[in-house]
Amino acid sequence: KISKIVLERNAAPYIYGRDGSTLNKIGVASQCDVFMREGDIEVDIGGDDAHRKAAETYIHFVGRQRLGPVKITEDEMRSCKHITLLRVPSRLKGFIVGVKAKTLRILESSTGTVMFFGSVEKTPDDGENEEDNEYLFILS
């Protein structure tokens, strides 16, 4: 099966990445065929239902990064079965990301995942402060 999603014009280059690199990472992590012509706003996703849904979710999360820090709701967390959260102390984030995000990109390519830092939106009475709520999101 093939599904098609239409991106916002200003989000499309971000999702596509340099020479299609971001789109390729999404395809590998979601185990789908993901295709988009450079400069286009339509993405074709081929694969079984569960993997196509994962690819659509990954595209959505990656697109949100361009707007600032990513916050994912608890409902989004429950609906995404292929996501792992790793709490990383703020003082160690630089080691994981590396210079110009090179270390993070090496980790992604060697594990077939998409990774980014973000937080989970919590209710105000959950007792966690914002720094305690920051994670490395691993999409696979």
Give tens-digit pLDDT for 84-128. 999 988 888 888 999 988 999 999 999 999 999 999 887 665 555
pTM: 0.86
| Interatomic CA distance for residues 96 and 78, integer angstroms | 26
pLDDT at 128: 55
What crossing angle do the helices spanning 49-65 and 21-30 adopt, rounded to 10°? Answer: 140
pLDDT at 124: 61
Contacts of 52 (CB under 8 A, 6+ apart): 1, 3, 30, 32, 45, 46
| Interatomic CA distance for residues 22 and 34, integer angstroms | 10
Q: Rg of the Cα trace of the chain? A: 15
pLDDT at 75: 85
When mean pLDDT is compared across 7-16, 60-69, 128-137, the lowest value belongs to 128-137
| pLDDT over 80 (residue 82) | yes
Contact call for residues 83 and 76 (beta carbons, < 8 A): no
| pLDDT over 60 (residue 36) | yes
pLDDT at 29: 96
pLDDT at 130: 52
**Mean pLDDT value of segment 30-45:** 94
- Quickly state the pLDDT bin for 132 (edges 50, 70, 90): low
